[in-house]
A and B are shown apart, each in its own frame.
Chain A
Amino acid sequence: MTTGDRAWVQSERLPKGVRLIFGGDWTTTEIVPLDAQLHKLVEESSGPIEIDGSELKSLDSAGAWLILRTKRQMEEQGNKVTSLTLPDDYLPMIEIIERDHNAPPVKIPPRRTITKYLADVGEYTLELLVQGRAMLGFLGRVTVEAVQAILRPTREIPWPAFIRQIEETGLNAMPIVGLLSFLIGIVIAYQGADQLRRFGAELFTINLLGVSMLREIGGLMTAIIVAGRSGSAFTAQIGTMKVNQEIDAMQTIGINTVEVLVLPRVLALMITLPLLTFYADVMGLIGGAVMVYFDLGFTAPIYLRQLESAITPNTLWVGMIKAPFFAFLIALVGCFEGLRVKSNAESVGQQTTRAVVESIFLVIVFDAFFSVMFSILGI
């Protein structure tokens, strides 16, 4: 609309005081350059002030505010504003603003300062402790509810939800878990062969591959992939339900949210993650076998014989036993963060990121813990 006149300001010295003449289009888009100019005029002027706005072509509330602000600042300085003329059309607006608007400008806190950083550090630390405590509480609740649900089921286990979770977290994860494990097998075999060849011990590449894949890498890789894939999905699903007030609705109807939302996910993941881990182990060994064949020329029979001498059932079990624990951690953190989503969309994203970071962190911490424990037990 406003291609019209620029807004302008002139000041005229009168025998006594100053006359300010405003003209042009005093609209939101046009007044920007006037802001600083008016501040300067206010500083320079002294004596009684006349404000003459009779040449204004148009005026909106932002422009009216500038006139009013100038008038108020003049008066604060002790300069009396003797007259304020405006075209009749705009008088009502400026009167309303003058009468009603006395609030100071809103304060927008600066986004980042050093004190803010320090405060953030404190806030995060505190939050971490509070979060840890809340998570322990949640762990307790889920454990109690799980035991209750299994011992004294008050309702039928929600089979469809349970099966769907198994499909979603297990079956649908197979392509990505399989492919990555296969590639990891190739990488380990390649690196192992490269180093061991120098000692003429190429054959032990297979030992390295078998032990590391089954004991550590298979389980850890799968847990990390699943944490990124399913743990985040849990948080996003439950978080979205929270935003939509579905959780509130459940609570008012008297549905136990932990039983309905958390338990199927936790149990489903505790079933699927061990299965996925076994599958990852197999795919990793196949990947290794392929690499060993092309790089070192060991055929399948040699590979299998060497593998048999390198690993025992215990090697497999040591890796597999960790999977349900990892699954429990991932699902617990995913659901916990989902339930902590606040009622806005941004929070869903934040909690999802958190869930992934926390569950991967916990998985690795527990993996280290298991290693220490196994070494003490001498397994």
Chain B
Amino acid sequence: MGDERPGSDIAIKVRGLVNRFGDVLVHDHLDLDVMRGEVLGVVGGSGSGKSVLMRSIIGLHEPNEGSIEVFGEEIRNRDAKELRHLQKNWGVLFQEGALFSSLTVAENVQVPLREYTDMSQTLMNEIASLKLDMVGLPEHAAAKYPSELSGGMKKRAGLARALALDPPLLFLDEPTAGLDPISANQFDELVLDLQKSLGLTLFMVTHDIDTLRATTDRIAVLVDQTIRIGTVKSLVHDKHPWIQEYFAGVRGRAALA
């Protein structure tokens, strides 16, 4: 939203990203573009650096080399104040929701509002209610503490908090991991609904092939310290062994369908 400068249809632009832990090279001059309004799925084996990539983009991890731009603004080498300002542009849903355990669900959703605006408590209560409604949480969940919620509800609450400031960009870390297939489907639909109605750009780390097929526009596969991008259809024909194996199931299912 806003920011209509020319050529700004790229939401995230990663160039020459290098991440190294000791002798282990995780990313070797990795390039990635995420378009505005697209849903990008990120997959890869364990230790292939999916989380590190996400943490690098959102400024939780300082990469060894490379540049990362989000909406045309460089993320790296920013001081805390500038980074804070940039961070308003995105919401993050962590794997287990990462809700603050000492606050109720409604208070969790209000944390970003309290941090970045000086809204009246009444308006914050109204907005918290709106966001909880948007992610499909029942009214009575608002006053509950995270420890009283089921896994799926925690994720929904985490999503509501990520959406509190209406960021144009949303990072999801394994959004459907640990959910039963029905809840996972519902969560996929929810995410997709929100993405469409709010015009979000989604960066989604996931392993769930159903989620990938149902929601993503493009898929970035992390193999050999770099990235291969394509759609489910095009990646099925990729010759790389890991990708072959990963999508073998999909192809089988597609053939059956």
Q: Mark B1-19, 1 if CB is under 8 A from A, else 0.
A: 1110000000000000000
Question: How far is B116's CA from A1's CA once the two chains are assembled, in angstroms?
Answer: 14
Question: How far is B101's CA from A27's CA once the two chains are assembled, in angstroms?
Answer: 28
Q: Does B150 contact A (CB under 8 A)?
A: no
User: Of the 9-residue stretches A15-23, A146-154, A268-276, A338-346, which lies at the interface with chain B?
Assistant: A338-346
Q: Does B64 contact A (CB under 8 A)?
A: no
Within 8 Å by CB of A29, from B88, B134, B168, lies: B88
Establish whether residues B121 and A62, one from each chain, have CB atoms under 8 Å apart when the complex forms. no
Within 8 Å by CB of A32, from B117, B125, B132, lies: B117
| A109 proximity list for chain B (CB < 8 A) | 143
| B168 proximity list for chain A (CB < 8 A) | 1
Q: Does B123 contact A (CB under 8 A)?
A: yes
Establish whether residues A345 and B101, one from each chain, have CB atoms under 8 Å apart when the complex forms. yes
| B227 proximity list for chain A (CB < 8 A) | none
Q: Does A61 contact B (CB under 8 A)?
A: yes
Establish whether residues A105 and B125, one from each chain, have CB atoms under 8 Å apart when the complex forms. yes
Establish whether residues A344 and B142, one from each chain, have CB atoms under 8 Å apart when the complex forms. no
Q: Does A65 contact B (CB under 8 A)?
A: yes
Establish whether residues B132 and A106, one from each chain, have CB atoms under 8 Å apart when the complex forms. yes
Interface residues of A in 1-28 (CB under 8 A from B): 1-4, 25, 27-28
Within 8 Å by CB of A343, from B127, B128, B147, B198, lies: B147
Q: Does A377 contact B (CB under 8 A)?
A: no
Decide: A106 near B128, CB < 8 A? Known: A58-B1, A61-B134: yes
Name the interface size band of chain A: 35 or more
Nearest-Cβ distance from residue A172 to partner chain B, whole angstroms = 31
Establish whether residues A104 and B129, one from each chain, have CB atoms under 8 Å apart when the complex forms. yes
Nearest-Cβ distance from residue B196 to partner chain A, whole angstroms = 8
Interface residues of A in 322-379 (CB under 8 A from B): 342-346
Establish whether residues B106 and A108, one from each chain, have CB atoms under 8 Å apart when the complex forms. yes
| B128 proximity list for chain A (CB < 8 A) | 105-106
| A133 proximity list for chain B (CB < 8 A) | none
Q: Does B166 contact A (CB under 8 A)?
A: yes
Q: Does A75 contact B (CB under 8 A)?
A: no
Within 8 Å by CB of B101, from A25, A65, A69, A344, lies: A344
Nearest-Cβ distance from residue A252 to partner chain B, whole angstroms = 19
Identify 19 residue pairs between A and B in the complex whose beta-carbon atoms are under 8 Å apart, listed by A's number. Answer: A1-B3, A1-B168, A28-B113, A28-B116, A32-B118, A36-B120, A57-B2, A61-B130, A96-B197, A101-B133, A105-B122, A105-B125, A106-B132, A106-B142, A106-B143, A107-B106, A108-B107, A109-B143, A344-B147
With A29-B88, A29-B116, A32-B117 known, 10 other A-B pairs at CB within 8 A are: A1-B71, A32-B119, A35-B120, A59-B1, A62-B127, A96-B197, A101-B130, A106-B106, A106-B139, A346-B101
